[in-house]
Amino acid sequence: MTSSVLSRFLVLLLLALFLSTSVPPPSARAAAPTDIAFTGFVVDQASVLSPAERDRLTMRLDWFQQRTGHQFAVVTVDSLHGQNVALFTRRLANRWGVGRFAVNDGILLLIAPNEKKARIEVGRGLERRLTDPLCTAIMRWTIIPAIRRDGVAAGIDAGVGAIFAQFGQAPRRQGRAA
């Protein structure tokens, strides 16, 4: 009988510990990335892209939208303001309204270079094509190595290309990689 009570206590303790670490604190849940204005499908708040890189990336994202109908935005941020990168990215994508409302088919690639965090957020309408494991693999095996090797612009370019490839789309590059 004592071991049964102890077992239940341990299970409840582990459950409480799991829940306390998986739910963001109330301040993080309430906060939203309100200081980042949507100015186009490339928003470089962290100022890591040159004007030419921004222009090339904008052209590629526009090309993708014209061919697939899906909206794809890229944002670099100075700070996540202490928030979890997934929560921050999801809130920003929702606030900006990336993707068609009825289809929920937006894609947002967020890079926070100062905090060394990145995230690909995908609307529910594209989750079968861009699954969480696939997005994690693109981050781990494409974006992050390219950032480490050649910088943020190269990582973004590689990630955009890997996502385009999932849709059978591969726009011709003009000049150096964005």
pLDDT digits (tens, 9 = 90+) for 51-77: 999 999 999 999 999 999 999 999 999
Is residue 63 a contact partner of residue 96, using CB atoms and an 8 Å limit? no
pTM of the model: 0.78
Biggest CA pair distance of the chain: 74
pLDDT number for residue 40: 94
CA angle, 145 then 147 then 153, to 5°:
140
Give yes or no for residue 20 having a pLDDT over 70: no
Q: Residue 103 burial by CB count (10 A; 0-12/13-18/19+): exposed, middle or buried? A: middle
Q: Parallel, antiparallel, or unpaired for β 107-112 and 42-44?
A: unpaired
Distance CA 112, CA 149 (A): 17
Which pLDDT band holds residue 172 (cuts at 50, 70, 90)? low
Give yes or no for residue 22 having a pLDDT over 60: no
SS3 content of the chain, % helix, strand, coil (to 5): 50, 10, 35
Share of the chain above pLDDT 70, in %: 75
Rounded mean pLDDT of the chain? 84
Which pLDDT band holds residue 35 (cuts at 50, 70, 90)? confident
Share of the chain above pLDDT 90, in %: 74
DSSP summary character for residue 143: I
Give yes or no for residue 122 having a pLDDT over 60: yes
Which pLDDT band holds residue 114 (cuts at 50, 70, 90)? very high
pLDDT number for residue 15: 45
Give yes or no for residue 158 having a pLDDT over 80: yes
